């Protein structure tokens, strides 16, 4: 997959969507790719915390959307200790900024969509990024819909609980209308309390998921207790590359490139 845009989306929060998206971006960059990841979860931003970066000049993606600066002004490069490149755009986590986004009208978001299409071309063509990654708000939010509209590939993340499964089924109907290549990642999967999924159980689960959902499954990630504890502030793909979670990220990255 060359010069592509993909979006991580979910029916509800708590699926580990942001953790997967951030670690995948780091993984690609460590592999030598030029990657740009943007935090489009304006209602609950978290990439700034995960990467441990606070914009020095106080410039956020919100300012870019409001026409106060260029996209280059809100991108911050992360040292991935490789020949690759990783640039991150952060959403403003202040309550005032989050409130401001919720008050935007549909016409405003329509203008932003056209702006995002131009930005996509700028980043992938002029700035030379290989991959553009969006982390979005759960559900059907305007910001998420814009990110989905400019994407080439959509990755739906979900857990195994009944609410998430049923909600994702409904969300799939919406994705089918968009006509984007959509795949799924099942995350934090347990068959019994505190027992991770075995390879045999994983194969069985894949068969069941394929029967229930029409979209292909990129991977199944077991529930790692240590990841639940410190995964929000440690980028495992950077700091713990031998961890089993990163091996799962590697497999997902390889699958995405084949889409």
Tens-place pLDDT, residues 67-99: 999 999 999 999 999 999 999 999 999 999 999
Residue-level pLDDT at 73 = 94
Q: For residues 76-102, b (16+ Cβ closer than 10 Å) or e, as one string?
A: bebebeeebbbbbbbbbbeeebbeebe
Residue-level pLDDT at 192 = 60
What is the distance between the alpha carbons of residues 123 and 102, in angstroms, rounded to a whole number?
26
What is the distance between the alpha carbons of residues 63 and 69, in angstroms, rounded to a whole number?
6
Residue-level pLDDT at 197 = 63
**Who contacts 205 (Cβ-Cβ below 8 Å, separation ≥6)?**
186, 189, 197, 220
What is the distance between the alpha carbons of residues 63 and 92, in angstroms, rounded to a whole number?
9
Residue-level pLDDT at 250 = 97
Residue-level pLDDT at 191 = 62
Closest to 10 in 3D by CA, of 41, 50, 46, 51: 41
Residue-level pLDDT at 56 = 75
Residue-level pLDDT at 200 = 78
21-46, pLDDT tens digit by residue?
A: 999 999 999 999 999 999 999 999 99
Element (H, E) at 78: strand 75-78
234-245, pLDDT tens digit by residue?
A: 999 999 999 999
What is the distance between the alpha carbons of residues 28 and 5, in angstroms, rounded to a whole number?
13
**φ/ψ (deg, to 5) at 45:** -65, 145
Residue-level pLDDT at 2 = 65
The CATH class, in words, for 4-251 is alpha beta
What is the distance between the alpha carbons of residues 31 and 83, in angstroms, rounded to a whole number?
8
Residue-level pLDDT at 181 = 86
Residue-level pLDDT at 28 = 97
pTM of the model: 0.94
Residue-level pLDDT at 206 = 76
Q: List, for the chain, all residue ranges whose pLDDT scores fall below the cut of 50.
A: none
């Amino acid at each position: 997959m060359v010069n592509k845009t993909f979006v991580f989306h979910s029916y509800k929060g708590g699926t580990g969507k942001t953790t997967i998206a951030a670690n995948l971006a780091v993984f690609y960059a460590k592999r030598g790719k030029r990657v740009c990841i943007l935090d489009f979860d304006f209602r609950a931003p978290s990439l700034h915390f995960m990467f441990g970066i606070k914009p020095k000049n106080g410039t956020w993606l919100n300012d870019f959307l409001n026409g106060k600066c260029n996209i280059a002004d809100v991108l911050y490069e992360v040292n991935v200790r490789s020949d690759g490149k990783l640039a991150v755009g952060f959403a403003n986590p202040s309550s005032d900024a989050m409130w401001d986004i919720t008050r935007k009208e549909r016409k405003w978001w329509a203008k932003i969509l056209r702006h995002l299409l131009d930005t996509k071309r700028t980043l992938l063509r002029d700035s030379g990024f290989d991959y553009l990654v969006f982390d979005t708000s759960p559900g059907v939010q305007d910001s998420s819909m814009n990110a989905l509209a400019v994407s080439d590939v959509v990755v739906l993340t979900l857990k195994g609980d009944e609410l998430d499964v049923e909600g994702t089924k409904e969300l799939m109907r919406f994705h089918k209308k968009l006509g984007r290549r959509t795949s799924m990642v099942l995350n934090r999967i347990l068959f019994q309390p505190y027992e991770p999924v075995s390879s045999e159980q994983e194969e069985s689960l894949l068969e069941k998921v394929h029967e229930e959902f029409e979209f292909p499954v990129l991977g199944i990630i077991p529930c790692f207790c240590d990841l639940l504890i410190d995964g929000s502030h440690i980028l495992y793909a950077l700091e713990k590359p031998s961890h089993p979670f990163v091996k799962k990220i590697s497999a997902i990255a390889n699958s995405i490139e084949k889409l």
